[in-house]
Homo-oligomer: A and B are copies of this chain.
């Protein structure tokens, strides 16, 4: 018996769950886990079903489900093979390190196929895990050239997902639009929407907050304003300065990013306007 993830996204209507699960039943597919969500806000319906059975006719199954659903429905039937990740970095090692470690140990269902930096600091770390590292130094190119070279390098590695793992340079809308929504993920070092933009730990220090956090989100044209996937915080106090805030925050960053990437790799994340549905 094989296993697939059925993802459905369409306008809400009465009987959707019945129609989809009946189609599965007809094809002898067992639903071993299912989550669905209908947004009262805009009438969108999202469903994720983990199916067991025989998927030789998967194209036919998809077509049959689509026929039963409102016009414009998106339906896919994903296998659970390891995905390909491309990671963009600057100088900080913790997020890349955590992804490499979890990929290495098997806790992340993905291979890191390429690391691209705008500094060369992390080349040595990538090399330890036999991952190709390419560096396009900020100083060596115009921003436009640099972005073009990075895009080419990304495309060459054929990633399923591209991760900005503390990549500390703002990307142009042109760069961002190169990617299908839902395939470019950033980790921001604050609980957004607080402390958008540069130096969030310094901002946090100045404001005197008692919590610091991190946010994993899909990237859109608007800096730090894309759909949020995962957030977490830790408590801090008056004794922290910007440096110790950053050190403590790094642990939250890497965990929030790891959890977000795991959710995406499990096909548990839908983009819903400027939000996400995370099952």
Instruction: Report A's interface with B, CB cutoff 8 A.
Output: 14-15, 17-19, 21-22, 24-25, 28, 30-41, 92-94, 97-98, 101-102, 104-105, 107, 125, 128-129, 191-195, 207-211, 213, 227-233, 235, 237-239, 241, 247, 250-251, 255, 258-259, 272, 274-278
Contact = CB atoms under 8 A, between A and B. Distances in A.
A274 B38 CA distance: 32
Contact of A208 (B98, B104, B233, B274): B274
A207 B193 contact: yes
A101 B104 contact: no
A102 B172 CA distance: 32
A102 B95 CA distance: 11
Contacts of A31: 14, 17
How many copies of the polypeptide does the oligomer hold?
4
Contact of A22 (B22, B194, B258): B22
10 contacts: A15-B21, A18-B22, A22-B22, A32-B38, A37-B239, A39-B238, A191-B209, A208-B227, A208-B228, A251-B258
A107 B98 CA distance: 13
Given A15-B25, A211-B231, A97 B93 contact: no
A107 B94 contact: yes
Contacts of A274: 207-208
Contact of A128 (B38, B40, B129): B129
B37 A208 contact: no
A208 B275 contact: yes
Nearest to A227: B208
A278 B238 contact: yes
Contact of A210 (B36, B194, B231): B231
A258 B233 CA distance: 17
Contact of A238 (B19, B22, B37, B129): B37
Among A25, A33, A36, A238, the one with the most B-chain Cβ atoms within 10 Å of its Cβ is A238
Contacts of A195: 193
